[in-house]
Amino acid sequence: MKLTESQLDTLKEISNIGVSRAATQLSTLLNDEIVMRVPEIYFLPVDEAVRLMPEYENVSVVYQDLKGDFSGRAHLVFHNDESRLLVHALIGTAFTQGSEDMRRLYETETMMEIGNIVISTCISTFANLLKNEIVLTTPTYTELHVSKLFDRWPEDTVSMIIETTLCASKRDVTGTLLIMLTIGSAKNLLIRIADFCQNIE
């Protein structure tokens, strides 16, 4: 399923609106001025998408299932080291103190909060602008090898890879918003994009 340059530009524009709104919420959460941008976006079959993901051995992932007009799953993916930088920035010395179990609990809860903000804000932006009804499940946090993100998906699944940079005065972190869509949902997305482009012309 190949997108035109115009369709990709529209996806990138909507994605930038979504991450900009997420950045506003994260700025308050992290007590720092956050700027998020989408330098690249890809819309690919699942077998091609796995080769474009960062070559990290292990990643920290927050994911939420999509239901409604779009069916699939949205993941916010960070290298493990970068996720811990975010956690440390948010909760400070509490992350370096206490037992290992307590630190893991802090990390899990903090990453789910950050992931929920980014995913829900971006998905709601898509839903509002494209006039779709999308429901998200509660966030789940896990750590795994990056290739495992693609294991459960059939070959006709479409992957939307949204590269995201998070810039702040105290830290810069690069993450990836990976959205897996069923083939029917991907086709529906392209129809909605076409309608969106026609309405703004």
- Does 201 have pLDDT greater than 90? no
* Cα dihedral 138/39/24/27 (nearest 10): 90
Domains of the chain listed by start with CATH number: 5-200 (3.40.1550.10)
Give the chain's end-to-end CA distance (angstroms, integer): 24
- pLDDT single digits (tens) 152-183: 888 889 999 888 877 766 667 778 899 999 99
Note the pLDDT of residue 198: 82
Note the pLDDT of residue 125: 94
Among 141, 80, 144, residue whose Cα is nearest residue 114: 141
Q: pTM for the complete prediction? A: 0.87
Among 40, 68, 199, residue whose Cα is nearest residue 133: 68
Contact call for residues 147 and 60 (beta carbons, < 8 A): no
Strands (DSSP E) contained in 47-151 are: 58-68, 72-79, 134-136, 140-145
- Does 20 have pLDDT greater than 80? yes
Residue with tokens 């409604």: 68
In terms of Cβ atoms closer than 10 Å to its own Cβ (0-12, 13-18, 19+), residue 51 is exposed
Residue with tokens 């994605």: 15
